Amino acid sequence: MTTFKDRSDAATGDAADPAEAEPGKLTLAEVLEIFAGGRLPLRFTAYDGSSAGPEDAPFGIDLKTPRGTTYLVTGFGDLGLARAYVAGDLDIQGVHPGDPYELLKALAESLEFTRPPARLMARIVRSIGFEHLRPIAPPPQEVPPRWRRIAGGLRHSKTRDAEAIHHHYDVSNTFYEWVLGPSMTYTCACYPRLDASLEEAQENKYRLVFEKLRLKPGDRLLDVGCGWGGMVRYAARRGVRAVGVTLSREQTSWAQRAIAEEGLGERAEVRYGDYRDIAETGFDAVSSIGLLEHIGVRNYAAYFRFLRSRLRPGGLLLNHCITRCDNKAEPSAQGFIDRYVFPDGELTGSGRIITEAQDAGLEVLHEENLRPHYPLTLRDWCANLVEHWDEAVAEIGLPAAKVWGLYMAGSRLAFESGGIELHHVLAVNSRGTGDDGDRPMRPWWTP
């Protein structure tokens, strides 16, 4: 591959300072090559007619408009790239927009940006144009930055949590049916075999949660953040009286209809509302599958105290959530994820979660990392989106469909690399009760 540095060497015989060797205006491709150190794993083309990277590369990026340049220059991290892509100012080649995993993988494995020296940076700015340094309005799919969301209430207040849930989950039930499949389950599956189908893996996940909670006919289950009611219906089919709660109106209406169609109304109920408004107590078990990510780390103590208060003595709690791989990183999501996918989402390590559960008076019995199962889940969701791409675009629009493909493929990479994980924490409300019941000494569920 011929790089900008190579051309400088050939023209001057001296590569000591490319800024002095070629004082003219740089093309957009040359600018990218400088930042990438001449190592581009894909083909880049731009509206100014320039190009870089291997001509036979299997993947490519096409920067189509000056507005796209502004987005790239003014966006921090992945935010600028997402803005240009979602707005249609940047196209990707060689992959389907419903599953750009292979392109993102190539970038993650081979592309490492470096900051040029000050004189060269000044030349880059002059070449790009100062007008591109002024931020412009982002695509309408982007939510405001965190400091502007205060108008909707304090972070993780009931009103602001409701708005965040609405942004992500009230997209379209029809869209979710295409992506999630018949299970309508938007949390990590648990694959009994590598060749298991998504539906089999989601059913197996509910089976695992059900067994860990030692549920039996006649028991009472509270499922907080219940989504479309998958766990509620699974438990009700097995004779358990289950109550679910969600802050999504779309999820509530879908779940209530599914409960009626299955004839589960006597044992299953899904309510629209905040989990903090559940008044009943004495539940035999509580399941929280994918809710903690929306709670906020500073609210963990109150969250676990509340769930414990809803359990009978000896009752079990299963918390299933995405976590970071350590307990030191900043919990708040940044960039693309915060502005396009999960506003106000926060992740921390499993150690912090266990600590908060214990400090709330719960006895932690078991912890399990299901991280390897999430890349498989995301792979299958992306495959569903690709299969239903035209319908999805017609339902929610091309920009939103692009967001979903980018988000799921990027998340798959993050789980594969171990940057984020998925943990089950099983705990019991036994502290100070003296009630161990007939709980076995060893894990009683099938892995």
Note the pLDDT tens digit of each residue in 1-26.
334 444 444 333 344 444 444 568 99
**Distance, CA of 379 to CA of 280 (rounded, Å):** 39
Determine which of 21-25, 121-125, 145-149, 296-300 has the lowest per-residue pLDDT on average: 145-149
Q: For residue 292, name the pLDDT band (cuts at 50, 70, 90).
A: very high
For the residues 344-361, what does the mean pLDDT come to?
95
Q: For residue 170, name the pLDDT band (cuts at 50, 70, 90).
A: low
Give residue 16's pLDDT: 41
If DSSP codes are grouped into helix, strand and coil, which group holds residue 287? strand
Report whether pLDDT(436) > 80. no
Q: Which domains does the chain have, with CATH numbers?
A: 4-133 (no CATH), 158-428 (3.40.50.150)
Compare 63 and 24 and report the one with higher pLDDT.
63
Helices assigned H by DSSP within 185-238? 198-212, 230-237
For the residues 57-69, what does the mean pLDDT come to?
97
Give residue 357's pLDDT: 98
Closest C-alpha to 81, from 421, 385, 410, 360? 410
Compare 369 and 115 and report the one with higher pLDDT.
369
Determine which of 61-70, 111-120, 130-139 has the lowest per-residue pLDDT on average: 111-120
If DSSP codes are grouped into helix, strand and coil, which group holds residue 284? strand
Determine which of 61-65, 133-137, 342-346 has the lowest per-residue pLDDT on average: 342-346
Compare 242 and 172 and report the one with higher pLDDT.
242
Give residue 4's pLDDT: 44
Contact (CB, 8 A) for 367 and 423:
yes
- Cα 109 versus chain centre, distance: 20
Report whether pLDDT(165) > 70. no
Give residue 10's pLDDT: 39
Give residue 15's pLDDT: 40
For the residues 40-53, what does the mean pLDDT come to?
96
Instruction: Name the amino acid, one letter, at 363.
Output: E
Q: For residue 158, name the pLDDT band (cuts at 50, 70, 90).
A: low
**Of all residues in the chain, what percent carry a pLDDT higher than 90?**
76
For the residues 333-340, what does the mean pLDDT come to?
86
Determine which of 118-122, 374-378, 420-424 has the lowest per-residue pLDDT on average: 118-122
Contact (CB, 8 A) for 341 and 403:
yes
Host H or E run for residue 173: helix 173-180
Q: For residue 377, name the pLDDT band (cuts at 50, 70, 90).
A: very high
Give residue 255's pLDDT: 98
User: What are 202-239's pLDDT values in tens digits?
Assistant: 999 999 999 999 999 999 999 999 999 999 999 999 99
Give residue 313's pLDDT: 94
Give residue 76's pLDDT: 80
Report whether pLDDT(147) > 60. no
Q: For residue 68, name the pLDDT band (cuts at 50, 70, 90).
A: very high
Compare 281 and 167 and report the one with higher pLDDT.
281
Give residue 335's pLDDT: 85
Give residue 156's pLDDT: 55
Give residue 279's pLDDT: 97
Averaged pLDDT score across all residues of the chain: 90
Give residue 152's pLDDT: 53
pTM summary value = 0.89
Please name the residues in contact with 162: beta carbons below 8 A apart, sequence gap of 6 or more.
247, 274
Write out the DSSP string of 226-238: -TTTHHHHHHHHT
Please name the residues in contact with 32: beta carbons below 8 A apart, sequence gap of 6 or more.
40, 44, 52
For the residues 337-365, what does the mean pLDDT come to?
93
Report whether pLDDT(121) > 80. yes
Give residue 332's pLDDT: 73
Q: For residue 157, name the pLDDT band (cuts at 50, 70, 90).
A: low
Residue 233 CB neighbours (<10 A): 24
